[in-house]
Structure 1
Amino acid sequence: MAMANQNGNGMRIGRLGKMPPKVDDRTLNLADYLTPALPPAPPMKTWTEKVQDWTMLGNDRYGDCVIAASLHMEQNWTAYEGPQEMEPTEQQALNVYSTITGFNPNDPSTDRGTNMLDALNYWRKTGIGNGTILAYAASEPGNVEHIKDIVELFGAAYVGLQLPVSAQKQKVWAVPPGGPVGSGQPSSWGGHCVPMIGYTPTQVMCVTWGQLKSMTWGFFETYCDEAYAVLSSQWADGNRPDPDGFSLDDLKQDLNAVVSH
């Protein structure tokens, strides 16, 4: 994990802190809810325009990126759905990080990062920030079309990356010319969690270390090791009908069936 600083491109670099994916056979699969009747996602989508002040949320000093990503998603959802934008605080992030993992800011040995699935379960049962989620489903790692559908339908994708060292100096994260070897080797830097909140035909945008960051689709395909669609209470309460070919109600009902056993 690297302390926050700026690289040669002016990009702030904070700490990493995503643990390896946790396997749970009960986790719902997004593919089960994407039918042939679902219209293709638009070629471009952005939910990046309303939040003006993304903050580090302690991720410059601690490995709480999984929690920071959750809070940034809550911030963006409320910015679009109202009644007013939730402005998360560092203390909120550290409190959740401590509750889920046992982190103690006075004991560096406890700063070991977070598993995304543990955070999702806590988010659903207890809430993170001022919000709770109703359901979540796992995307196929590195699946571009899944991420487009998630951003379009859910307002954000909750994504885990195994970052290469080569990303430390890149203005736009991209697979290096020599491919994913050497400094481009997956996880040669470490695991990181980000919310993806917009995309174009060539790039996808995320929030990390208090600012927006772009990566190529090739980078996403190469370094993504887990991704989730997350249905927030805020988003589901909006006047947003289910599209043909996708049922949010089925997703919620299936999750309730899983957690009741």
Structure 2
Amino acid sequence: MARSAPVRLLRNHINPAPLMLGNDKVGNCTSVGLANHIRATAALAGFQVDIVPENAISFYSRSTGYVPSRPETDQGGVEVDVLACASRIGYDVPHQRFYPLWGSSEPEDLNALRLIVAGFGAAYVGVQLAQADQMSGIWDTITPGNQQPGSWGGHCLLVWEYTGTADDDLVTVLTWGIRQKCTWRWLRSRLMEVHGVIWPQLVLPGGLYPTGDDLEKLRAENAAFLGN
């Protein structure tokens, strides 16, 4: 993470095709975030993975204990626990199951966050939303309303692209089935946690990941860094 991330990352020509997957009815954003991460990464390679709401709700139940017949169990998920669960049992989609590899970064390190977005397709992050974020338009810290992080609750979303690295440059996040714009100053004020996720099953026939990276080379470099 010592190297500099790209100063801008523009993906206007690629549709990550985020889906709602039931997050308008239950608090399964941590599960939906993984599903949309799969879809966003696949989109970088020019194809797509079918995922239906039942997949996202089923994994939400398996990773958090949510029981559809008991609304009181709809308490959301802890991202690291959800990621660990996906690594152990996999994430089921129609006709296949995905197992992620993942790691975490300090939320204060925006350069590392940008490296994750560029190298892994998207960053899987947790934010503290404010009531002011209920307003339509670009999420920013200078819009009217209550800007207290957490006053609207916690949420999981994906960071997908950005126009630059200045405070007022725009970042595209994937949430609630749309591409939402925000500023870096907004994201910095809301971030709680940042995670990088890789899906080995999305490696292309030529051996490269959809972002263009060599996954086996990455494994070797990781092993060398860890002294294995």
In 1, distance between residues paired with 2:19 and 2:33?
A: 11
**What percent identity do the matched residue pairs reach?**
30
1:115-134 to structure 2, matched below 5 A, reads 115-128=78-91, 129=93, 130-133=97-100
Give the 3 Å change call, closer, same or farther, for CA 218–47 of structure 1 in structure 2: same
In 2, distance between residues paired with 1:249 and 1:212?
A: 34
**Residue among 146, 157, 160 paired with 1:194:** 157
1:96-245 to structure 2, matched below 5 A, reads 96-128=59-91, 129=93, 130-133=97-100, 135-176=101-142, 183-201=146-164, 202-236=169-203, 238-239=207-208, 240-241=212-213
Structure 1: stretches of 5+ with no match in the other structure: 1-33
Greater than 3 Å deviation, 4+ residue runs: 46-53, 234-238, 240-243, 246-255
Secondary structure of 2:15's counterpart equals coil
Q: In the alignment, what sits opposite 1:62?
A: 26
Secondary structure of 2:86's counterpart equals helix
Q: Deviations over 1:200-246 (max 9, x none)?
A: 11121111111100110001111100011112214555424459xx9
- AA of the residue aligned to 1:107: R
In 2, distance between residues paired with 1:59 and 1:214?
A: 19
- Bigger relative contact order, structure 1 or 2 (CA pairs below 8 A, ≥6 apart): 1
In 2, distance between residues paired with 1:62 and 1:46?
A: 32
Larger mean CA deviation between 143-152 and 56-65 belongs to 143-152
Deviation at 1:51, TM superposition (A): 3.2
Deviation at 1:173, TM superposition (A): 0.7
Query: Do 2:117 and 2:159's aligned partners in 1 also have CA atoms closer than 8 Å?
Result: yes
Structure 1 vs Structure 2 CA RMSD:
2.6
Query: Do 2:16 and 2:43's aligned partners in 1 also have CA atoms closer than 8 Å?
Result: no
- AA of the residue aligned to 1:171: G
Q: Deviations over 1:114-154 (max 9, x none)?
A: 01011111222222234221x22211114221111111111
Give the 3 Å change call, closer, same or farther, for CA 254–121 of structure 1 in structure 2: farther
Query: Do 1:151 and 1:196's aligned partners in 2 also have CA atoms closer than 8 Å?
Result: yes
Larger mean CA deviation between 225-234 and 55-64 belongs to 225-234
Give the 3 Å change call, closer, same or farther, for CA 53–151 of structure 1 in structure 2: closer
Q: In the alignment, what sits opposite 2:49?
A: 86
Give the 3 Å change call, closer, same or farther, for CA 116–252 of structure 1 in structure 2: farther
In 2, distance between residues paired with 1:117 and 1:98?
A: 16
1:27-38 to structure 2, matched below 5 A, reads 34-35=1-2, 38=3
Give the 3 Å change call, closer, same or farther, for CA 106–81 of structure 1 in structure 2: same
Secondary structure of 1:137's counterpart equals strand
Give the 3 Å change call, closer, same or farther, for CA 208–253 of structure 1 in structure 2: farther
Deviation at 1:55, TM superposition (A): 2.1
TM-score w.r.t. the length of structure 2 is 0.83
Paired residues in the alignment total 213
In 1, distance between residues paired with 2:65 and 2:109?
A: 33
Q: Deviations over 1:9-56 (max 9, x none)?
A: xxxxxxxxxxxxxxxxxxxxxxxxx24xx3x22222144643364321
Q: In the alignment, what sits opposite 1:13?
A: none
**Residue among 15, 34, 44 paired with 1:51:** 15
In 2, distance between residues paired with 1:230 and 1:90?
A: 21
- AA of the residue aligned to 2:186: F
Deviation at 1:92, TM superposition (A): 0.0
- AA of the residue aligned to 1:204: V
In 2, distance between residues paired with 1:126 and 1:88?
A: 17
